[in-house]
Amino acid sequence: MSWEQELRAAYRTPNDLVQAGLLSPEEVIQAGKVSLKYQFLLPQYYANLIDKKDPHCPIRLQAIPSFEELESRIEEMKDPLQDLQHQPIQRITHRYQNRALFHLTPNCSMYCRFCFRKTLLNELKPSLFSGTWKEAFQYLRQTPEVSEVIFSGGDPLMVGDEVLRKVLEELEAIAHLKRVRFHTRVPVTFPSRVTLELSESLSSTRFHPVVVTHFNHPKEVTLETRRGLELLKKRTVLLNQSVLLRRVNDSIDTLVELSEKLFEAGVLPYYLHQLDPSIGTGHFFVAEGEGQRIWEGMKSRLPGYLVPRYVKDIVGIPYKSSV
Ligand code: SF4
């Protein structure tokens, strides 16, 4: 089956999950209410990693809508990193002086329940994604201080291979650009998309691309994901960024195992990210003190190169801050 066919076969409504034995008829009512506000998509591959007997399965918590998404807390925001206030033109976020985010597509292989761009991919989608790529290229051409383009959420690897090549060719022609980086959950949630053709497309220009995967739990590092990472690591620099998530990976054992498995798969742990305060994600929040305790524990059990930096975004500071 091609990845396009697999995508068509993904679960798209909570009712699909009842048939798959992942939700009870009682639970589906609440999940249905959540999916009216925040879209739902779950590839069968990722759904198959869910332990049906465990209501707190870390894969389930990341993938299946929960009523907790409808509870908002006072500190939560629709656009916690102020993407829209740092938007010189639609599809571009220019927050850091020499790096600009390019939002190629609002599509993702799965809609992660913890996503900090949750509102920007739903209610505020037109504000970020209405502009054309042409205008985005024009902005990058006219902004010489930008040396790196970071393709960020939605998921850039949901764009087809030929189109990705063309996007990279456009950027290659801009002399002041030195690097391109892709932030993606595709190798984690939808590894069949990671093909030889994709890795050739990513590396088809003068750039030596950086791919930052977003693995959060060791259960996500499977034979299928390793096959995809094998293809990517021949042509790209592979790093991983995890988000610290309550009940998913807020334990020393889990994160130590994740770092070890990533290293075996050829990926270096780069960031452990404090969750940004986005509306609908508060149930995943881990207090910084607890995060510090976990991170210290990781340091005592891993060599330095397998300990990711524990960081957070602070609005107004033009780089990631250590927690
Ligand atoms: S793939 Fe990334 S942008 Fe898309 S829903 Fe998941 S976390 Fe958000």
80-108 pLDDT, tens digit per residue, is 888 888 899 999 999 998 999 999 999 99
The fold for domain 84-322 equals TIM Barrel (3.20.20)
- Token pair listed for 38: 């925040």
CA of 113 to the centre of ligand 1 (A): 8
| Ligand 1 binding pocket includes 185 (Cβ within 6 Å) | yes
Q: What is the pLDDT of residue 153?
A: 82
DSSP 108: -
Q: Is 91 left (phi over 0), alpha (psi -120 to 50) or beta?
A: left
User: Does an H or E element contain 39, and which?
Assistant: none
| Ligand 1 binding pocket includes 267 (Cβ within 6 Å) | no
Which residue owns the Cα nearest ligand 1 atom 7?
A: 115
CA of 111 to the centre of ligand 1 (A): 6
Sign of CA dihedral 198, 139, 119, 148: positive
| Ligand 1 binding pocket includes 155 (Cβ within 6 Å) | yes
d(CA 15, CA 13): 5
Which of 7, 152, 155 best tests ligand 1's pocket when mutated (most atoms within 8 Å of CB)? 155
Going by C-beta distance under 8 Å and a sequence separation of 6 or more, which residues neighbour residue 149? 99, 100, 102, 140, 171, 177, 179, 180, 181
Q: What is the pLDDT of residue 167?
A: 98
User: Does an H or E element contain 291, and which?
Assistant: helix 288-301
Q: What angle do CA 67, 271, 97 make, to 5 degrees?
A: 105
Q: What is the pLDDT of residue 143?
A: 98
Q: Is 105 left (phi over 0), alpha (psi -120 to 50) or beta?
A: beta
Q: What is the pLDDT of residue 13?
A: 96
Single-letter residue type at 56? H
Regions of the chain short of the pLDDT cut 70: none
d(CA 156, CA 105): 6
d(CA 104, CA 132): 9
Q: What is the pLDDT of residue 320?
A: 87
In the block, residue with structure tokens 């452990």 = 272
Strands (E), 119-243: 148-151, 179-184, 210-213, 237-243
| Ligand 1 binding pocket includes 115 (Cβ within 6 Å) | yes
Which of 112, 189, 248 best tests ligand 1's pocket when mutated (most atoms within 8 Å of CB)? 112
CA of 39 to the centre of ligand 1 (A): 11
281-309 pLDDT, tens digit per residue, is 999 999 999 999 999 999 999 999 999 99
What residues are paired with 271 via a beta bridge?
241, 309
Q: Do residues 21 and 51 lie in contact, with contact meaning Cβ atoms separated by under 8 Å?
A: no
Domain ranges of the chain: 84-322
- CA dist list (Å): 136 to 105, 129, 185: 12, 11, 23
204-217: buried (b, 16+ CB within 10 Å) or exposed (e) per residue? Answer: bbebebbbbbbbbb
